Structure 1
Amino acid sequence: MSPAYVLKRILLIGYTLLVVSLIVFAITQVLPADAAVMMLGENATPDALAALRAKMGLNDPIWMQYLHWLSGVLRGDLGVSMRTGQPVAPAMLEALGRSLLLALFSITLMLAVAIPLGIVAAVRRGRAADLGVGFLSYVGVSLPEFVTATLIVLVLAEWLQWLPATGYVPLTEDPLRGLKHLVLPVLTVSLILIAHVSRMVRSELVDVLHSDYIRAARLKGLSKRQVLFKHALRNALLPTITIVALDVGYLLGGVIVVEEIFALPGIGRQLIVAIQARDLPSIQAGALIMATTYAIANFLADIAYAWLDRRIQYD
Structure 2
Amino acid sequence: MTAAPPTRSAAARLLPMIAGRIASSLLTLFLVSVVIFVASSLLPGDAAQELLGQSATPAQIAALRHEMGLDQPGPVRFVHWLGALLHGDPGVSFVANMPVSDIIANRLPNSLLLAAITALISIVLALTIGIASAINRGGRIDSALNIATLSLVAIPEFLIATLAVLAFSVKLLWLPSISLVTPETGWAETLRALALPVLSLTCVVVAQMARMTRAAVADQLDRPYVEMARLKGVPFGRIVLFHVMPNAIGPVINAMALSLSYLMGGALVVETIFNYPGLASLMVNAVTSRDMPLLQSCAMIFCATYLALMLVADIVAILANPRLRA
CA, structure 1 residues 204+283, in 2 after alignment: closer, same or farther (shift >3 Å)? same
Residue 31 of structure 1 and its aligned partner are, at CA, apart by: 2.2
Instruction: Evaluate the alpha carbon distance shift between residue 56 and residue 144 of structure 1 in structure 2; reply closer, same or farther with a 3 A threshold.
Output: closer
Query: Partner of 1:125 in structure 2?
Result: 137
Aligned to 2:70: 58
2:27 to 1, 12, 15: 15
How far apart are residue 149 of structure 1 and its match? 1.8
1:131-170 equivalent positions in 2, closer than 5 A:
131-170=143-182
Distance in 2 (alpha carbons) for counterparts of 1:84 and 1:57: 17
Q: After alignment, is 280-289 or 93-102 more displaced?
A: 93-102
Aligned residue identity for 1:150: T
| 1:96 to 2:108 alignment | yes
2:63 counterpart letter in structure 1: A
**For the residues of structure 2 that align with 1:111 and 1:171, how far apart are their CA atoms?**
27
For residue 191 of structure 2, what is the amino acid of its counterpart?
A: L
2:248 is aligned with what amino acid?
A: A
Taking the TM superposition and a 5 Å limit, the aligned residue runs for 1:1-315 are 2-170=14-182, 173-306=185-318, 309=320, 311=322
1:77 CA drift (Å): 1.7
- After the TM superposition, which of the residue ranges 243-252 and 16-25 deviates more from structure 2? 243-252
Q: Cα distance, 1:170 vs. partner?
A: 4.1
Query: Which stretch has the larger CA shift, 164-173 or 212-221?
Result: 164-173
Provide the rounded CA distance (Å) in 2 between the counterparts of 1:283 and 1:247. Answer: 24
Measure, in 2, the Cα distance between the counterparts of 1:7 and 1:202: 31
Q: Is the 8 A contact 2:217 2:245 kept in 1?
A: yes
Number of residue pairs aligned between Structure 1 and Structure 2: 314
Q: Letter of the 2:160 partner, please give it.
A: T
Give the whole-Å Cα distance in 2 for the aligned partners of 1:298 and 1:201: 16
Greater Cα offset, 185-194 or 52-61: 52-61
CA distance in 2, matches of 1:249, 1:101: 15
Distance in 1, Cα, partners of 2:39 & 2:196: 35
Q: CA deviation at 1:27?
A: 1.8
- Deviation of 1:306 after TM superposition, in Å, equals 5.0
Q: 1:253 to 1:193 in 2, by over 3 A?
A: closer
Residue aligned with 1:255, SS: helix
Is the 2:160–2:200 Cα contact (8 Å) retained in structure 1?
A: yes
Query: 1:227 Cα deviation (Å)?
Result: 0.9
Percent identical among aligned pairs is 35
What is the identity, as a one-letter code, of the residue corresponding to 1:285?
A: S
TM-score by length of 2: 0.85
Q: Deviations over 1:65-117 (max 9, x none)?
A: 21111121112221222232222222234433322322221121112112112
Distance across 2 between alignment mates of 1:98 and 1:312? 40
SS in 2 for 1:254: helix
Rate the CA distance shift 1:99–1:247 in 2: closer, same or farther, 3 A. farther
SS, match of residue 76 in structure 1: coil
Output the amino acid matched with 1:253: G
Which stretch of structure 1 is more off in the superposition, 150-159 or 187-196?
150-159
**Counterpart of 2:150 in structure 1: which amino acid?**
Y
Task: Calculate the TM-score normalised by the size of structure 1.
Answer: 0.88
**Is the contact made by 2:45 and 2:290 (CA closer than 8 Å) also made in structure 1?**
yes
Letter in 2 for 1:272: V
Distance 1:305 1:109, change over 3 A: same
CA distance in 1, matches of 2:274, 2:65: 39
| Residues 106 and 190, structure 1, Cα contact 8 Å, conserved in 2 | yes
- The gaps in structure 2 that reach 5 residues or longer are 1-10
Question: Is the 1:252–1:267 contact (alpha carbons within 8 Å) kept by the matching residues of 2?
Answer: no
Distance, in Å, in 2 between the alignment partners of 1:221 and 1:172 is: 58
Taking the aligned partners of 2:282 and 2:275, their CA distance within structure 1 comes to 11
CA distance in 2 between partners of 1:214 and 1:303 (Å): 26
Return the letter of the residue paired with 2:178.
T
Answer whether contact 1:100 1:252 (CA < 8 A) is retained.
no
Is contact 1:171–1:178 with CA below 8 Å preserved after alignment? no
**Residues 298/97 of structure 1: CA separation in 2 closer, same or farther (3 Å cut):** farther
Report how far residue 15 of structure 1 moved: 1.8
